[in-house]
Structure 1
Amino acid sequence: MHTIGTPGLWLAFSLLVVVALVVDFVVLRAGGAHKVSFKEAALWSIAWIMLAMLFNLGLWYWLDGHVGPELANETALQFLTGYVVEKALAIDNIFVFLLIFSRFGVGPELQQRALMIGILGAIVLRAILIFIGAALIARYHWILYFFGAFLVYTGVQMVRAPNDEADFEANPLLRWMRGHLRLSAEYHGTALSVVKDGVRWFTPMFVVIMLLAVTDVIFAVDSIPAIFAITEDPFVVLTSNVFAVLGLRALFFLVAGMAERFHLLNYGLAGVLSFIGVKMLIVDAWKVPIGLSLGIVALLIGASLVASRLFPKID
């Protein structure tokens, strides 16, 4: 498969992610378990966005010096478009995360820890999915049509059932854990398991973290094909995906308090998925320019946010 990712670029990306995660963990531990304020969430969101943009700028600079400005400009725009798409679709994850926290009674002071560990698991699982997807697309071009049709179908389903809530009691992972693990009914701070009378029990925090990671991967089944419509380069797909996911914890606390204000966002996301699906279906007839794709995605998301404010939800 063709990729711009040299061993040096992969190493630089990996080191940057590791350092960012270490800093995040250190700050999280120093702050202790606490309820995240809107201001704190906004500052962290800005920090993660700036980190992603700095990485994109560094990637553009390196490519400009080694392969020329044309590929550098195209790759930087692909990264930005992929990042924006993933960031927008991640908002849908947040609504489900809210349901999980509500269903399992996770207090505000414990949500940070749960999100942090859940996101780490999601990054690993997403990386596996991305490399499998890249290998399949490189070998079987027709899979792009399957991805495109799937995204259009998903977009239509989001319009038909915009407020469809997850049925956690029917969740296969939850049912498996209940059938095979000893689950305690009480939280023990941020501990994932405790030992009682020589027997290990898994806490509700463990259950929540597993559900967060798997739920994110389920949503990635939509978002990863969407980014492959923008670029088939696994380096650009993975880096834009990871940087978007890294900021998911801060984005959660930023958006959680405003979920009801943007009740029409699902329609914007449905439009994004449908547009990208059509883009994949016509890829052999017309390759939609990256700049145009970015503009349409931004317009669809922006329009849904503005419409939510102009037409408030009627209870």
Structure 2
Amino acid sequence: MLDISLLTWAATIGFIVLLLAVDLVLAAARPHHVGFKEATAWSVFYIAVAIGFGIWFGLQYGNAAGTEYFAGYIIEKSLSVDNLFVFVIIMSTFAVPDKHQHKVLVFGIVLALIMRAVFIALGASLISLFSFTFLLFGLLLLYTAIQLFRHRDEDPDIESNLMVRGARRFLPVSDGYIAGRLFAKEDGRRVVTPLFIVLVAIGSVDLLFALDSIPAVFGVTEEAYIVFTANAFALLGLRALFFLVKGLLDRLVYLSAGLAVILAFIGVKLILHWAHVDLDESIPEISTPLSLGVVLGVLVVATVASLIKTRGVPEAKAHAGSLTATKVKRERERDDRR
């Protein structure tokens, strides 16, 4: 285990909070449509920060630790692209105006970081107490991979989300987006705006993604510090990446299938690690460098195959994938049975 001092933890968290604060101030002070040039500049900046941190971390704590960080970062970055699919669906479902999308994304990233911090602390505690936690994480990832692959050509049904339906049922909602506020007064009564419902939707989606992404990154490292920083730096660039690639997301038709393969691979890696530790040390393990190579290889193949597919079949459209059959598909299957 690495000896990460409290000062290092505090400095890292402080730096991440500072970056988030800058995003929040920009979102609140100047709501605007984020153009391609601005999105590109911020994306390059956040990737440079993540790479710079990884180089420093490798020099400070050794090449093995640096490799684990970069492997975790790439895994989280690839999974975060699936987040973007769902964010696009949410923005479209609730017709969020362009000038308020910046704010929604920043709040979504903050919620995601908080949830991931909780799951990281919980996961690290379970791993330190029970080695079979690796088996549970591995089985969870295998189940997720199978479900994601089965429903890779579907999108999540946001309107039927339990938290969204609950918010709509028990809270008075205004008709329009009132100056980008979450709460307002309408006809003399306090109401929530559709922006609040959007944040509820994004928060519930963040919770589901945290359940998958945290076990996935624990597949390449047991260090809570590496898990946290890999997640944080992957998420920090998510806002800029959304505006940069949202027009290209429809072309990544094989991304969900690729992510399913990555999750299944990491699930097998976790199960082998558990078997090596608890059953028989002769059972082979999958190394972190090999994991990094497999993840990068799958992402490259999925991306190239997607671009070739959409070039030959322009009407082909990518989907975020779902862990359960969506309402639309269930209704279609019910009609087919009739």
State the TM-score, normalized to the length of structure 2.
0.86
Matched, 1:23 2:13: no
- Once residues 219 and 50 of structure 1 are traced to their aligned partners in structure 2, the CA distance between those partners, rounded to angstroms, is 25
Q: Which string of whole-angstrom CA distances, capped at 9 and with x for unpartnered residues, describes residues 103-154 of structure 1?
A: 1110222111111112111111110111011111111111211211221222
Aligned to 2:334: none
Code of the aligned partner of 2:46: W
- Once residues 305 and 58 of structure 2 are traced to their aligned partners in structure 1, the CA distance between those partners, rounded to angstroms, is 35
More moved, 94-103 vs 168-177: 168-177
Unaligned runs of 5+ in 2: 277-282, 316-338
Q: Which string of whole-angstrom CA distances, capped at 9 and with x for unpartnered residues, describes residues 221-253 of structure 1?
A: 111101001111111101111111111111111
The alignment partner of 2:66 has SS state of: helix
Asked if the contact 1:41/1:254 (under 8 Å) is kept, the reply is: yes
Matched, 1:153 2:143: yes
Aligned to 1:11: 10
Q: Which string of whole-angstrom CA distances, capped at 9 and with x for unpartnered residues, describes residues 50-74 of structure 1?
A: 11122222223333xxxxxxxx111
Q: Percent identity?
A: 38
Aligned to 2:236: 246
Matches within 5 A, 1:42-57: 42-57=40-55
- Once residues 188 and 124 of structure 2 are traced to their aligned partners in structure 1, the CA distance between those partners, rounded to angstroms, is 46
Unaligned runs of 5+ in 1: 64-71
Aligned to 2:174: 184
Matches within 5 A, 1:28-177: 28-29=27-28, 32-63=30-61, 72-177=62-167
- Once residues 117 and 284 of structure 2 are traced to their aligned partners in structure 1, the CA distance between those partners, rounded to angstroms, is 29
Asked if the contact 1:229/1:280 (under 8 Å) is kept, the reply is: yes
Where has structure 1 moved over 4 Å in runs of 4 or more?
Answer: none
Aligned to 1:68: none
Aligned to 1:228: 218
State the TM-score, normalized to the length of structure 1.
0.92
- Once residues 64 and 109 of structure 2 are traced to their aligned partners in structure 1, the CA distance between those partners, rounded to angstroms, is 29
Asked if the contact 1:123/1:245 (under 8 Å) is kept, the reply is: yes
The number of residue pairs the alignment matches comes to: 305
Asked if the contact 1:48/1:243 (under 8 Å) is kept, the reply is: yes
- Once residues 98 and 5 of structure 1 are traced to their aligned partners in structure 2, the CA distance between those partners, rounded to angstroms, is 38
Asked if the contact 2:159/2:165 (under 8 Å) is kept, the reply is: yes
- Once residues 211 and 3 of structure 1 are traced to their aligned partners in structure 2, the CA distance between those partners, rounded to angstroms, is 37
- Once residues 110 and 186 of structure 1 are traced to their aligned partners in structure 2, the CA distance between those partners, rounded to angstroms, is 13
Q: Which string of whole-angstrom CA distances, capped at 9 and with x for unpartnered residues, describes residues 256-280 of structure 1?
A: 1101111111111111111111111
**Offset at residue 39 of structure 1 (A):** 2.3
Matched, 1:277 2:275: no
Asked if the contact 2:115/2:210 (under 8 Å) is kept, the reply is: no
The alignment partner of 1:232 has SS state of: coil
Code of the aligned partner of 2:79: L
Asked if the contact 1:119/1:212 (under 8 Å) is kept, the reply is: no
**Offset at residue 26 of structure 1 (A):** 3.7
The alignment partner of 2:191 has SS state of: strand
